[in-house]
């Protein structure tokens, strides 16, 4: 229970004394008027929550290991399926007769659907329970990955990838909330967050490697999706028996569903993100599409929704109603800065891996298996870095840790910007692959710990959902911007054959320079916004 200072009224005290497992709408309604005044100061230790009062806070090491493994497995398998798609897209498109105008949609629609549904999934999880939403997400994820494996047309694959993105959105925020609720602050929770961070880039890299191997063998691209679907079904079964039960909640009523969830905020935010992501995906296919009237209209509508959403959040918060993303949330400088950094880092990470795959196959003209094997350093450094961050993050100042790794990651696109395609892999490409994931991997772990340390249990779920939404949106924006830059530079090159390795390399080189600039910008944001952040992930007394 929370201890309330003497200057508060009795009514405020009763509001603050909601149990930590109260519904998300109840907690935000009770806090919304006071959130803006002291959000940056509301730390769990100041509110004096008794972690030992729950049954899950002192779980055994074996049970904690199983929990972290299964939750990490969800993000790993989902990202692995995306890696399989990235490396095998040319063969998948040929097999399913996917037209060139829709070539990038199987990848784009996943991020679009995922980003649009994250806030809704997080709100429903706080209302109905993390366990229920997570299990539903696991089940649907396994179903739609299997559906991708048996797709007969390109349109079917695009639709199933969209549903896969929706299912993934049910797993991401609930995994963060489950770890936060069941593990007290300390090394064990740090490792848990690090493993969650490891799941996405590690799964993507493994998917790239296995996709190249399967494509070069008699197994084919479908086998990789069969493998992912089988693994996901097993994880769903394990989670059904091992996920901790949610604490008792108020009985479900449609009145509570209508009043405790900010539906208008969800519609405005999801519609804006969805429209922007859609237009960006269309532009990615052909930069000339930006001149079409319907795309300009959609972009204007989506842009207009942004101030409308901010105004709605201000009105809800002012009147003491539950707000999806209170404007006062951004007063926490560390949280706002880490969101900007993850926007840039995720855009660069996913863009670099996609362009690197094209560089190996279209510029250096390597077979898929050799291109896939060149991503092995990415897999190895991902494992070492994430586990090392979880074990040692509490010993170092988070701002220095984030700044150093971000600057090192800036070296990845710099090396590729100056590379000669005729050079040996060991000169530049190896180091570029090795350095690429440093920033994103560390930022993910540090960001989760900043959320857990800087926000009370009333706002941790919200902050986690916002963080994941920003990362997905960064992926969508990054791929679009890089595709436009690459296509534009290649089309203006002096080479008659725009599909030649030399012409393509000019476009890719321009993308690498852009990525380098974004990473420098991320370093500047981190140096300023995280300057007051000390050690995070310290064990609670």
**Residues sharing a CB contact under 8 Å with residue 336, sequence separation 6 or more, in sequence order:** 330, 529
3-state SS assignment for residue 204: helix
Residue 186 lies in a domain: yes
Phi, psi of 467 (to 5 degrees): -60, -45
- 518 pLDDT tier (thresholds 50, 70, 90): very high
Q: Would you say 258 and 77 are in contact if contact means Cβ atoms under 8 Å apart?
A: no
Model confidence at 337, in pLDDT bands (50, 70, 90)?
confident
Instruction: Return the residue matching tokens 């300023």.
Output: 528
Average pLDDT over residues 249-258: 76
Return the ∠ at Cα 441 (arms to 360 and 90), rounded to 5°: 30
Instruction: Report the percentage of the chain scoring pLDDT > 70.
Output: 83
Q: What is the DSSP letter of 53?
A: G
3-state helix/strand/coil string of 131-193: HHHHHHHHHHHHHHHHHHHCCCCHHHHHHHHHHHHHHHHHHHHHHHHHHHHHCCCCHHHHHHH
HSE, CB side, 13 Å, CA atoms: give it for residue 160. Answer: 23
What SS3 class is residue 435? helix
Higher pLDDT, residue 421 or 454? 421
| Alpha carbons 132 and 109: distance in angstroms, whole number | 25
Residue 273 located in a structural domain: yes
The reported pTM is: 0.74
- How many Å is the Cα radius of gyration of the chain? 23
Q: Which two tokens stand for residue 321?
A: 């109603």
Q: Is residue 352 part of a domain?
A: yes
Residue 43 in any domain: the answer is: no
Residue 8 lies in a domain: no
The secondary element (H helix, E strand) that includes residue 360 is: none
Confidence band of 510 (pLDDT split at 50, 70, 90)? very high
**Tokens standing for 175?**
């995994």
Task: Express as a percent the part of the chain with pLDDT over 90.
Answer: 19
Domain holding 346, by residue range, is 61-245+261-529
- For the segment 433-481, what is each residue's pLDDT rounded down to a tens digit? 989 888 877 887 777 777 766 665 555 556 667 777 788 778 777 877 8
Residue 18 in this model has a pLDDT that exceeds 60: no
CATH code for the domain of 145:
1.20.1250.20
Angle at 195 between CA 225 and CA 133, to 5 degrees: 65
Domain annotation covers residue 540: no
What pLDDT digit, counting tens, does each position of 137-167 carry?
999 999 999 999 999 988 899 899 989 999 9
**161 vs 186, higher pLDDT:** 161
What does the block give as tokens for 81? 């399926």
Domain count, the chain: 1
Closest CA to 486 of 336, 316, 358: 358
Higher-scoring residue by pLDDT: 271, 37: 271
Phi then psi dihedrals of residue 531, to 5 deg: -65, -25
Q: For residue 188, what are the CA distances in angstroms to 63, 180, 468?
A: 12, 11, 22
Structure tokens given for 470:
């920003």
Cβ atoms of 262 and 323 closer than 8 Å: yes
pLDDT score for 461: 59
> Is 236:77 a contact under the CB 8 Å cutoff?
no
| Arithmetic mean of pLDDT over the chain | 78
Residue in 313, 306, 309 with CA at minimum distance from that of residue 276: 306
Residue pLDDT, tens place only, 286-327: 667 777 888 889 989 999 999 999 999 999 888 888 788 888
């Amino acid at each position: 229970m929370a201890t309330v200072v003497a200057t508060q009224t009795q009514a405020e005290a009763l509001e603050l004394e909601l149990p930590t497992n109260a519904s998300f709408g109840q907690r935000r309604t009770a806090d919304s008027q006071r959130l803006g005044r002291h959000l940056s100061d509301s730390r769990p230790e100041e509110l004096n929550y008794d972690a030992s009062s729950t049954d899950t806070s002192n779980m055994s090491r074996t049970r904690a290991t199983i929990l972290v493994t299964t939750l990490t497995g969800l993000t790993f398998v989902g990202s692995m399926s995306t890696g399989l798609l990235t490396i095998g897209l040319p063969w998948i498109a040929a097999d399913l007769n996917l037209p060139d105008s829709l070539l990038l949609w199987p990848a784009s629609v996943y991020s679009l659907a995922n980003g649009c549904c994250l806030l809704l999934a997080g709100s429903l999880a706080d209302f109905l329970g993390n366990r229920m939403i997570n299990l539903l997400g696991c089940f649907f994820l396994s179903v739609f990955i299997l559906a991708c494996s048996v797709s007969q047309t390109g349109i079917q694959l695009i639709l199933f990838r969209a549903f896969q993105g929706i299912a993934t959105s049910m797993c991401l925020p609930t995994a963060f909330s489950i770890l936060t609720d069941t593990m007290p602050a300390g090394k064990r929770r740090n490792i848990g967050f690090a493993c969650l961070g490891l799941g996405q880039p590690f799964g993507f890299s493994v998917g790239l490697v296995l996709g190249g191997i399967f494509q070069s063998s008699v197994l084919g691209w479908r086998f990789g999706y069969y493998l992912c679907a089988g693994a996901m079904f097993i994880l769903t079964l394990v989670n059904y028996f091992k996920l901790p039960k949610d604490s008792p909640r108020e009985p479900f009523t449609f009145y509570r569903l209508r009043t405790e969830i900010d539906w208008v905020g969800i519609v405005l935010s999801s519609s804006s993100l969805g429209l922007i992501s859609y237009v960006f995906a269309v532009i990615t296919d052909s930069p000339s599409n930006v001149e079409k009237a319907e795309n300009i209209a959609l972009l204007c509508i989506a842009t207009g929704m942004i101030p409308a959403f901010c105004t709605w959040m201000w009105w809800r918060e002012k009147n003491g109603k539950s707000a999806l993303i209170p404007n006062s949330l951004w007063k926490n400088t560390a949280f706002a800065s880490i969101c900007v950094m993850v926007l840039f880092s995720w855009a660069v990470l996913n863009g670099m891996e996609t362009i690197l795959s094209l560089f190996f196959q279209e510029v250096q003209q390597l077979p898929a298996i050799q291109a896939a094997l060149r991503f092995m350093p990415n897999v190895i450094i991902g494992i070492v870095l994430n586990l090392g961050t979880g074990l040692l993050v509490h010993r170092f100042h988070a701002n220095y840790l984030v700044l150093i790794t971000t600057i090192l990651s800036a070296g990845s696109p710099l090396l590729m910007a100056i590379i000669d395609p005729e050079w040996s892999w060991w000169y530049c490409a190896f180091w570029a692959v090795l350095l690429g994931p440093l920033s994103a991997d560390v930022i993910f772990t540090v960001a989760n710990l900043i959320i857990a340390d800087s926000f009370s249990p009333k706002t941790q779920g919200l902050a986690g959902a916002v963080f994941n939404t920003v990362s997905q949106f960064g992926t969508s924006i990054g791929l679009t911007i890089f595709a436009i830059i690459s296509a534009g530079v290649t089309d203006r090159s002096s080479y008659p054959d725009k599909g030649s390795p030399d012409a393509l390399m000019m476009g890719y080189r321009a993308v690498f320079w852009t990525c380098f600039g974004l990473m420098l910008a991320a370093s500047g944001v981190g140096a300023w916004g995280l300057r007051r952040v000390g050690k995070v992930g310290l064990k609670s007394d």
